[in-house]
Structure 1
Amino acid sequence: MNAQLHPRADTAEAHVVVAGVSKVFATGGREVVALQDIDLRIPRGQFVCLLGPSGCGKSTLLNAIAGFALPSAGMITADGQLVTAPGPERGMVFQEYALFPWMTVEDNVAFGLEIKRQPKAQILATVDELLHMLSLADFRHRYPKDLSGGMRQRVAIARVLALDAPIMLMDEPFGALDALTRRNLQDELLRLWAELKKTIVFVTHSIEEAIYLADRIVVMTYRPGTVKRDLVVPLPRLRDPAAPEFNALKRELGQLVMEEQQRHHNDELRMAAVD
């Protein structure tokens, strides 16, 4: 199965634009090129997965889009505005949940709205709606320590949704969860995406997760991170991981990722030989 470039990538309105982006880190007295000459146009409402092995720069690119670590060269725009710092139009969901342990579920979800000094009644209405939407209403007075990993991640997603950011950036948010919880949250995320029409950029190293979730998969090379392949997922939703078409695409992507893992392995052998 040979997938094609996403047909909307060049014709639809670009919500996120990554233009000639490179990122260089100084470490151990030498420079490491994490990203090199990356160009992406992400249409409004598209679900994009960044896929690749460890060390390919997926999270570095996501952090650049978020405004946490600006590129060394090139530029990124979100909704037509140059990204120079984190902004309210870009909500970030981390793998580590990043919840305040001293706050209840509802207080964690309300936190950003309180910082924005929204009216109390509006905050309560928004929080109540999201807790019901994410099946957290019965846990609103619990603390993070009392929740399962899946529930904590639901709270983290609710907190981002409360700010109504049109762009959601997600850095392996389900990576630490068991398989069943992971699939349940993947389905929950797809339901929210379809309902709320967010633009999502989602980092994963799981090929199956990328195919299950994404409109479009951007496969990245091992360092320096570049775009190795930009593919549409030509499968109707809801997707069946047991279907022949699903597994044909999984094999194709698996070959691409394995090539980069082998490059990583060869690079480590060369460095060991030098040392």
Structure 2
Amino acid sequence: MSDIHIRVDGVNKVFGAEGREMVALQDISLNIPRGQFTCLLGPSGCGKSTLLNAVAGFAPPSSGVIVVDGRPVTGPGPERGMVFQEYALFPWMTVEQNIRFGLEIKRVPAAVITQRVDDLLRLLSLADFRARYPKDLSGGMRQRVAIARVLALDSPILLMDEPFGALDALTRRNLQDELLRLWGEMKKTILFVTHSIEEAIYLADRIVVMTYRPGTVKRDLLVELPRPRDPADPAFNLLKRELGQLVMEEQQRHHHDELRMAAVD
């Protein structure tokens, strides 16, 4: 089995009809090793979520190829689990029913479902909330349920689209620590989209900084800080300043582009 779990090779993505085309991704190539935690970092409009959706199989590239475990991606697949910023829970189902749902669709034996759900409820500190409905949970608890539902399917790849972006700072840090713990135990390959520089440094083995439209790879770097990482550490802040400069350049390009478009209108 190859050590390269996800291969993105010369991917381009164009939206719109001829004459009014918008190039979202341009010549993206990445090799993501098995078990690596990779963050896609950049400002709004840089194509982070577009690339993630292409890897998920939701939005195929206009050209180029995405390969997972040696097989080209032609659509969604069970080896890729997706966690969205919006919790995407069924409001009429309890916490336990939400987590069980995908397993029941796959016709997993009942005893296996019960054991797996019980394990995840315990791992994610949800056992006391198993009979609650999403409306009765905080944002952080809902996101725990969303993560548990994806983990229940035991996909070797987790694709996460700003999953903690709507949460308060304390809840966000708690869930970041929870995710790192689960990643350490389960050895998943994680591709994680964020616009938070601190979050990317705190979580990732590797950070891929993307340019504002068209989205290309501006910088691809390994984070060599030891874990657990301390945001107050001078080395952490040195890297934060370096990445901040890269992202700020792209935000300024975004701002200039908006001003140009407003002048045209």
TM-score interval w.r.t. the shorter chain?
Answer: over 0.9
- The 5-angstrom pairing of residues 134-153 of structure 1 reads 134-153=124-143
Report what 2:193 is aligned to: 203
Q: Does 1:36 align with 2:23?
A: no
- How big is the alpha-carbon RMSD for the aligned residues of Structure 1 and Structure 2? 1.1
2:262 match: 272
Following TM superposition, by how much is the alpha carbon of 1:203 offset from its aligned partner in structure 2, in angstroms? Answer: 0.1
> CA–CA distance in 2 between the matches of 1:178 and 1:274?
38
Does residue 233 in structure 1 map to residue 223 in structure 2? yes
Partner of 2:145: 155
Which residue identity is paired with 2:196?
S
TM-superposition CA deviations, 1:65-116 (whole Å, max 9, x none): 0000000000001111110000000000000010000000000000100000
Which string of whole-angstrom CA distances, capped at 9 and with x for unpartnered residues, describes residues 106-143 of structure 1?
00000100000011111111100000000000100000
Q: How far apart are the structure 1 equivalents of 2:172 and 2:162?
A: 11
Q: What is the aligned counterpart of 1:179 among 156, 169, 174?
A: 169
2: CA distance between counterparts of 1:274 and 1:157? 44
Runs of 5+ unmatched residues, structure 2? none
Q: Which amino acid aligns with 2:43?
A: P
Deviation, 1:273, is 2.0
Question: Does 1:92 find its partner at 2:76?
Answer: no
Residue 119 of structure 2: aligned partner: 129
Q: Cα deviation per residue 1:28-53 (whole Å; 9 max; x = unaligned)?
A: 96110000000000000000000000
- Length-normalised TM-score, structure 2: 0.98
Q: Give the aligned partner of residue 47 of structure 1.
A: 37
Count of residues in correspondence between the two structures: 264
- State the secondary structure of the residue aligned to 2:16: strand
Moved more, 199-208 or 27-36: 27-36
Aligned mates of 1:270, 1:97 — CA distance in 2 = 36
Change (3 A) 1:273 1:91: same
**Identity across aligned pairs (percent)?**
82
Q: How many Å separate the matches in 2 of 1:91 and 1:172? A: 14
Corresponding residue for residue 4 of structure 1? none
Give the TM-score normalised by structure 1: 0.95
Q: CA deviation at 1:27?
A: 6.5
Q: Secondary structure at the match of 2:89?
A: coil
**Inter-partner Cα distance in structure 2 for 1:269 and 1:28:** 24
Q: CA deviation at 1:159?
A: 0.4
In structure 2, relative to structure 1, the CA distance for the partners of 1:261 and 1:111 (3 Å cut) is same
Per the alignment, residue 8 of structure 1 pairs with none
Deviations 1:181-218 (A, max 9, x none): 00000000000000000000000000000000000000
3-state SS of paired residue (2:142): helix
Match of 2:235 among 240, 245, 266: 245
